[in-house]
Amino acid sequence: MSYSVQPAGSPQPARGAREAEAVPRLRSARAGSTILTFVSSPRLRALRASLWTIFGYGAAQALRLVSSIILTRLLFRETFGIMALVNAVLQGLLLFSDLGIGVMIVQSRRGHEPAFLDAAWTIQVMRGALLLLVAVVIAWPTSRLYGEPQFLALVPMVGLNALISGFTSTSYFTLSRSLHQRRLVLLDLAAQTISFVVMVAWALVHPSVWALMAGNTTMFAVKVLGSRVWLPGHRNLLRWDADAAREVFKFGRWVLVSSVLTFCANRLDSLLLGGRLTMGELGTYSIASNLGRLPFELMTVVGSSVMFPVLAEAFRRGDETLHRELFRFRAFLLAPTLAACVLFAVAGDRIIALLYDPRYQDAGWMLRVLAAGQVAGMVGMSSTAALYAVADSFSNMCLEGARAALLVVGMAVGGHLFGKQGLVIGIASVGPLVYPFWIVALRRRGLWQPALDLTALVAAGGTIAAGLLLH
């Protein structure tokens, strides 16, 4: 019942009138409560985070494409081959020491505690310092292996980038945990924009691989500074917490092995091709590979930034929403990413001819083969976030191991049968070959969704086949 204070001496409304007035107020309060609940609902937060993530990804890839088109006209083909190897070394350093700290902060029940965050950040900084030391040690052997003297200076710079990245605030992960993506997206875009300006300016003054390296270093530095100054959340200090450290290392042991295998599956192609192709040919392949990976990267970004926090929260609640949310997210992700794969598989050569000068035209057939090959693999990989959400990092490790092994076998067989073109075909074969492994891993956890998988595979495969016939 609602009471209202009346002015002294004013006539009091009758009981029926008071009750009649109270009904619309009660309905209004209930409606306001319903609206407030809807606005703060997990589904709406996930939708808002998804929109911000997709916007950020689209803007970042547009900027990346513009950067690629401009820089390919300012720099030599060999520059991109050298940078492909340097980036592979950087990814190797980061993944060979990855304990899944960001994943742990999102998944753990202690992911909001200052002591836990400080301990995780301290481990992250120590890791960055170790990576710098490793980079200095391996610089000379890497230079000798590929016969490239510039690696003597480039590889230590890669280690410096890893050290800078280690100071990134844990606010980056706590905001992701709570699905507050706006500031993260804006920070990433600001870092990439400033990096682009530095690369183009450097390439105009001194066209060399150092233009690309300077851009990378700038991007890492801007992200760290922004995470420390602009992102809200706990301000990290060097502090040790034994319980938090044990939790990080216990969870991270399989993540570490999985990350090593992820590196092998994602970057081993560049390292192996570096010994079989000229730097110019490797630069052409890197153009095709970077374009072909755009759908995969979209899936990875949305999966880690939005899908994983939502599924992890559902798993912590222990209710029945996990499978329903997984199906919705996968359908939401597979539609645009597989459509992009189909486009690249059917018209990749025309896209390359439109965007790049004749030196890079061989990237056209490479893009078509790579895009067609990754369809089945992406259908399986759309469930990666679910395995991490249920804390099954072991299965992810096994799957990455299968991908790495299939990559080596595929490149060896393809190269033996068809030469340099067979190497690319072998890389593309990993997607369909690894999909049965995904079925086994997901069925163990009751996460396999065959109806959605079959629909996606038939739709994408049939469209590619029809497009190739018309092409």
**pLDDT in the model for residue 78:** 84
- Amino acid type, 433: L
Name, in order, each residue with C-beta under 8 angstroms of 466's C-beta and a sequence gap of 6 or more: none
First to last CA, the chain: 73
Give one DSSP letter per residue of 27-89, joined into a string.
Answer: HHHHHHHHHHHHHT-HHHHHHHHHHHHHHHHHHHHHHHHHHHHHHHHHS-HHHHHHHHHHHHH
pLDDT tens by residue, 272-323 = 887 788 888 888 998 999 899 889 888 888 887 778 888 888 887 776 788 8
- Amino acid type, 91: Q
Q: Are 235 and 50 in contact (CB under 8 A)?
A: no
The residue whose two tokens read 């993944």 is: 95
The residue whose two tokens read 């809807």 is: 38
Domains of the chain, by residue range, sit at: 43-275, 276-471
Of the candidates 422, 396, 421, 394, the residue with the CA atom closest to the CA atom of residue 409: 422
Of the candidates 185, 144, 143, the residue with the CA atom closest to the CA atom of residue 48: 185
Name, in order, each residue with C-beta under 8 angstroms of 184's C-beta and a sequence gap of 6 or more: 56, 172, 175, 176, 231, 305
Tokens of 93: 């350093």
**pLDDT in the model for residue 45:** 72
- Amino acid type, 337: T
Q: For residues 158 and 30, give the distance between their C-alpha atoms in angstroms, rounded to a whole number.
A: 57
Q: Are 282 and 293 in contact (CB under 8 A)?
A: no
Tokens of 337: 């990413």
Distance of CA 201 to the CA centre of its chain: 28
Residues of the chain predicted below pLDDT 70:
1-43, 96-97, 254, 319, 471
Exposure of 35 in the CB half-sphere (CA atoms within 13 A): 6
Q: Are 151 and 142 in contact (CB under 8 A)?
A: yes
Chain length of the chain: 471
Give one DSSP letter per residue of 147-158, joined into a string.
Answer: T-TTHHHHHHHH
Q: For residues 23 and 175, give the distance between their C-alpha atoms in angstroms, rounded to a whole number.
A: 41
In the chain, the percentage of residues whose pLDDT exceeds 70 is 88
Q: For residues 120 and 424, give the distance between their C-alpha atoms in angstroms, rounded to a whole number.
A: 39
pLDDT tens by residue, 352-387 = 999 998 888 999 999 999 999 999 999 999 998 888
Of the candidates 39, 47, 42, 48, the residue with the CA atom closest to the CA atom of residue 183: 48
| Angle at alpha carbon of residue 136, lines to 131 and 160, rounded to 5° | 55
Helix locations, 356-429, DSSP H: 363-373, 375-381, 384-389, 393-428
